[in-house]
Amino acid sequence: MKKLSLTIGIPAYNEEANIHLLINDLLKQKVKSVKLEFITVMSDGSNDDTVSRVKSIPSKRLKVIEGRIRKGRAVRQTEFFKSINTDIAILLDADIAINDQQFIEKLISPIARGMADLTSTRVIELPTHTLIQKTLVSSMDFKRRIFESHMQGNNIYTCHGRVRAFSKSLYKQLSFKHSNGEDAYSYLYCIANGLKYRFVVSTEIYYQIPTRFGDHASQSVRYFQSKIMYRKEFGEKLVTKNYMLPRKITIRAFFLTSLESPLLVIYLGIVSYLKIVSIFSRLNSTTWKMSITSKTLAR
């Protein structure tokens, strides 16, 4: 039986701190059920050593696309999809770490078995040190309890931009219009077109929580604004339905997390403030100032 083909795409803007480590993580993967054709790094106008770090890795499966001008994540991902023809495609952020050598196999399994067209998996925070980091980690514990319980994890909140796998039937249709919330866009497009999403709980990737409040604030404001955009595109009914969370699960998650970390109360104040800020902030749907403090991972 012929193996399914797979290509991995990594959009990168000034990712010299971690890109070579991530690629080494990927090259160590034990992939048996599919044929990994290429790992493609799309440099989005990087002005650091991102490209040279990638080129220094000796692998015939590694490609680098040197974009001279910064166009944004959405454009680079759409270009990637248009350039490939494999049965499955994976998109990964450059600033993540992978410890599980079966990660790829587990992530693509629902697609390979015809059970899904889009998958994502758990995202876990690396060790933290600052007060803002510890506060944000408590919020992530709170959210994880809710998101992984609701619909057995098969919901918009677990479809994470840091890691996604796509069937050919889905990625050949996709054209990302905005970089803001493009992970939610891929989920909503999938559901709106009668395709299936599956959350893979058996593996995970690791990422660094920002050490500065400003970096987190920028990420959160973009998230709140993206929900407004997608209501216009997919309709109020579909978006509201998929963002709605059960009150019982939310209250239980808040109680349990509060017992473990009183910092969660601080986070609720932060998120209320940022929701107000998002109303008055100007939306940039293509590019934005990147979060520098989350680029160097505490491996």
Q: Is residue 44 part of a domain?
A: yes
> Does residue 267 surpass a pLDDT of 90?
no
Amino acid in position 118: L
DSSP string, 158-226: G--TTEEEEEHHHHTT-----STTHHHHHHHHHHHTT--EEEEEEEEEEEPPPSSHHHHHHHHHHHHHH
Q: Are 197 and 159 in contact (CB under 8 A)?
A: yes
| pLDDT given for residue 298 in this prediction | 55
Q: How many domains does the chain have?
A: 1
| pLDDT given for residue 181 in this prediction | 83
Q: Is residue 51 part of a domain?
A: yes
> Does residue 286 surpass a pLDDT of 60?
no
In percent, how much of the chain has pLDDT > 90?
Answer: 70
> Does residue 293 surpass a pLDDT of 80?
no
| pLDDT given for residue 295 in this prediction | 59
Q: Are 209 and 299 in contact (CB under 8 A)?
A: no
Q: Is residue 16 part of a domain?
A: yes
Q: Is residue 100 part of a domain?
A: yes
Q: Is residue 286 part of a domain?
A: no
For 149, the domain range is 4-281
Q: Is residue 191 part of a domain?
A: yes
Other Cβ atoms closer than 10 A to 109? 20
CATH number of the CATH domain containing 221: 3.90.550.10
Per-residue model confidence as pLDDT tens digits over 191-246: 999 999 999 999 999 999 887 766 656 666 566 667 778 888 899 999 999 999 99
| Average pLDDT value for residue range 70-98 | 96
Q: Is residue 299 part of a domain?
A: no
Per-residue model confidence as pLDDT tens digits over 4-36: 999 999 999 999 999 999 999 999 999 999 999
pLDDT band at 288 (very low <50, low <70, confident <90, very high): very low
| pLDDT given for residue 53 in this prediction | 95
Choose between 271 and 145: higher pLDDT. Answer: 145
Q: Is residue 289 part of a domain?
A: no
Per-residue model confidence as pLDDT tens digits over 44-66: 999 999 999 999 999 999 999 99
| pLDDT given for residue 216 in this prediction | 57
| pLDDT given for residue 79 in this prediction | 95
| pLDDT given for residue 264 in this prediction | 87
